[in-house]
Amino acid sequence: MVTLKADEFEPDNILTLCRQSLNVVQTQLNRHGYADYLWTGYNGAVEQAERKQLGEVLSDPNGVEYQIREELQAHPDIDLWLILEGVVMAVPDGLNVMKQGSCMIYKRGIEPKREQHLVLQRFYKRSLEFLEGWVTGLERVGVRVKHTYDSESTARALVTMVKS
């Protein structure tokens, strides 16, 4: 079975789901300059993935960039992925609550009938264009970006990335 190393502070729900398909070992990755997840592929190449919720990027893009830069510099020989977790939408023109061009973050909600829907979680005064430009900049320096819906889809993406 393939092994996925996960940082000691990663959420239990993600690790529990990953353990259904992978051997998961928690260790102090971040303290040694690695991203949140680390694995060796079948071809012998080592890869790592940093997981960030969209709210973290929209509220502190400079802090996230600093962390990614530190990971790239600490281990330049290891490919880096950024998993962006969450759903973001631009606020339509004409809303009195927010300025034009702001973003809204949504999370998955489940009604009593077990129907899934999106629930407004938070407003950010950054444009969707800002976020897309920020992601494009990361991709230009070699950071591969994967978008996931929530922690469950992040776990599924990790399993697929490790096994592929």
**pLDDT reported for residue 43:** 85
**Predicted pLDDT at 126:** 80
Is the pTM above the cut of 0.75?
yes
Q: In what order do the strands lie in the sheet with 87-90?
A: 87-90, 103-110, 116-124
55 phi/psi in degrees, rounded to 5:
-60, -35
Note the pLDDT of residue 106: 59
Q: What is the pLDDT of residue 110?
A: 55
CA distance 133 to 146: 15
pLDDT at 55: 87
Conformational region of residue 57, where left means phi above 0, alpha means psi within -120 to 50, and beta covers everything else: alpha
Note the pLDDT of residue 100: 39
β-pair partners for 107: 119
- In angstroms, the CA 90 to CA 126 distance is 9
- Residues in the chain with pLDDT < 70? 91-121
Evaluate whether 27 touches 35 at the Cβ level (below 8 Å): no
CA distance 159 to 164: 8
DSSP string covering 64-86, please? HHHHHHHHHHH-TTSEEEEEEES
- Please write the tens of the pLDDT for every residue from 88-125: 877 665 443 433 345 666 566 655 555 555 555 677 77
CA 63, CA 66: separation in Å to the nearest integer? 5
